[in-house]
Amino acid sequence: MKPLLQYASHVLNHLRKDLRLEWRSRDAINGMLFFALLVVVVFGLAFDPTGYPTTTRQISGGILWVALLFASITALNQSWARELRNQVLEAQRMAPSPASALFLGKAIANMLFVLVVEAILAPIFIVFFNLQALGNIWLLAVILPLGTWALVVNGTFFAALGLRARNRELLLPLLLLPISLPALLAMVQATTGVLTGDLDPIQINTWIKQLAGYDIIFTTICILLFETVLNAE
Amino acid sequence: MPNSPIRDKINPMEQRSPTLRNLAWLWFAIAVAVLVVGFREAIFLVPSDAAQGDVGRIFYYHVPIAMWSLLFPYLNFAASLAYLYWRNRDPLKALTADAFALASAEVAVVYTSITLITGSIWGRAAWGIWWAWDARLTSLLLLWLLYVSYLMLRRFSSTGQTQTLAAVLSVFAAVDVPIVYMSIRWWRTQHPAPVFFGGPDAGMDKSMLPAFVWNIIGWGIWGIFILLFRFALERRRQIADQDAALQAIEASLEIPQ
């Protein structure tokens, strides 16, 4: 029990550090928020929700997640930038706490940032796309966090992969998107199913279960492999 | 360094063993021979498909290559695991494993690309469309994307880290492949779409079997040939790198060795 509590306290310390750093500059949240808003407006112009209401409802799940995907990528890229200044990364490597605690702390911090963006974006999205969910809207409270965690956990990991790469910002979407496609499929299908009411609750639940399974599998792999990546030299 | 050619004063870029070189030439000749026989069977000898006519002959290329393209990702996964295992225990073996991982990823991308392109051409000729988002095509496309992203990582990452990071990504990709397959299949059973290429039990008449068998053997032999050839190339590059590093170190020492 004690090692687990110790591990949890390490994760908490890393989380607090990231939250504090972010609060002081609020770069990531502001950038993400505005970027997601812009993407929603672009899609609004591209797909004309007022002119094609039924079609819009069918594609709105996809649009929401694409907007969040691109917004998260912009934030994830610079989430590791803090660790590069002042040789902080070397200090992290030498610290006796497990490397995966650093990873989890940062992933949870990124998760919180994206959830804040989602909370602000969802009402705007509903307004711009004139959405009335035809299914059980409370399911979205399950789908959104699960889907966000799938993007954030892999995104934080791959952002760390690209730390010393040339063309670091380009590498993250190139790696993240192929791996995330099954999760993206599940979250879009589940969200669209809720918004259009076209899918049975059983089918939506299956998508949610797939998403949860994906989250568990990839969180485990990320935790196990982060130490290797941090000490990759 | 027990294997260093510098010690043996042999140019590292030359093949060190004539036996291996002869074997490689023999294997190449066998591959070409089998593929020529397969070509003759597929294009000229077997009867043309009742429904599709001669257009269907691309089947004898598309399907064998598609089947072999599913093997190389597993080879990449095994080699990446071997690299991660040996990384701190036996660096020389790890280096070999990494060369094999790179070679198998490249061959996987090549074979998958050929599958996608021939499938596209066949689809256009036989059914009028270049692409459809059905289960099989989408899964194969995602497989292609995963291994192209592996090659991108190898290209973009900084030199000291490339091998470890690529091995880690390979683990992710390998875990993702069954997830992709299952989720896309579920997606397509939920919204059934037309099944192309006749579905999993599309009958193949016994008279067509020779073309299929010759081609599947031929493309397998060819795949192994280019895999091992690329592996040997990568090994030589690695050895040349090591020797260059050794020379640099020795040049910087004050006491002549």
Q: Is the pLDDT of residue B201 over 60?
A: no
Residue-level pLDDT at B7: 47
pLDDT band at B1 (very low <50, low <70, confident <90, very high): very low
Using a CB–CB cutoff of 8 Å, tell me whether B177 touches chain A: no
CA dist B228 → A77, B36, B174, B192, B255 (Å)? 37, 21, 21, 41, 41
Name the residue facing A221 among B145, B175, B180 (closest C-beta): B175
Report the pLDDT averaged over residues B85-107: 94
Report the pLDDT averaged over residues B223-246: 93
Spatial distance between the Cα atoms of B201 and A4, rounded to a whole number of angstroms: 52
Closest CA to A74 of A28, A39, A21: A28
pLDDT band at A217 (very low <50, low <70, confident <90, very high): very high
Report the pLDDT averaged over residues B228-256: 89
Query: Which residues in chain B have their CB less than 8 angstroms from residue A99's CB?
Result: none
| This prediction's pTM | 0.87
User: Residue B38, Cα to own-chain centre: how many angstroms?
Assistant: 21
Spatial distance between the Cα atoms of A131 and B197, rounded to a whole number of angstroms: 40
Q: Is B50 exposed, middle or buried (0-12, 13-18, 19+ CB in 10 A)?
A: exposed
Measured in angstroms, the CA of B142 and the nearest CA of chain A are apart by 7
Going by the DSSP 8-state scheme, the letter that residue A139 receives in this structure is G
Spatial distance between the Cα atoms of A25 and B207, rounded to a whole number of angstroms: 72
Torsions phi, psi of B13, nearest 5? -85, -10
Place of tokens 């009867």: B47
Asked if B168 and A229 come within 8 Å (Cβ–Cβ), the reply is yes
Spatial distance between the Cα atoms of B83 and B104, rounded to a whole number of angstroms: 14
Asked if A221 and B171 come within 8 Å (Cβ–Cβ), the reply is yes
Q: In terms of residue numbers, what domain contains A224?
A: 2-230
Q: What angle do CA A161, A167, A173 make, to 5 degrees?
A: 60
Asked if B161 and A228 come within 8 Å (Cβ–Cβ), the reply is no
Measured in angstroms, the CA of B32 and the nearest CA of chain A are apart by 35
Name the residue facing B146 among A162, A178, A225 (closest C-beta): A178
Q: Is the pLDDT of residue A156 over 90?
A: yes
The full set of domain ranges for chain B reads 55-195+209-241
Report the pLDDT averaged over residues B215-242: 94
**Count of C-beta atoms within a 10 Å radius of residue B145:** 19
Structural domain count, chain A: 1
Using a CB–CB cutoff of 8 Å, tell me whether B168 touches chain A: yes
Residue-level pLDDT at B235: 93
Asked if B157 and A221 come within 8 Å (Cβ–Cβ), the reply is no
* Three-state secondary-structure class, residue A86: helix
pLDDT band at A138 (very low <50, low <70, confident <90, very high): confident
Report the pLDDT averaged over residues A183-211: 90
Residue-level pLDDT at A178: 94
Query: Which residues in chain A have their CB less than 8 angstroms from residue B183's CB?
Result: 182, 185-186, 210
Query: Which residues in chain B have their CB less than 8 angstroms from residue A179's CB?
Result: 146, 149, 172-173, 176
Q: Which of B156, B162, B170 to mutate to test the interface with A (most CBs of A within 10 A)?
A: B156
Query: Which residues in chain B have their CB less than 8 angstroms from residue A164's CB?
Result: 157-158, 161
Q: What is the pLDDT of residues A59-105, one digit of tens each?
A: 888 988 998 898 888 888 888 888 888 888 888 888 888 999 999 99
Nearest CA in chain A to B171: A221
Asked if A179 and B165 come within 8 Å (Cβ–Cβ), the reply is no
Q: Is the pLDDT of residue B43 over 80?
A: yes
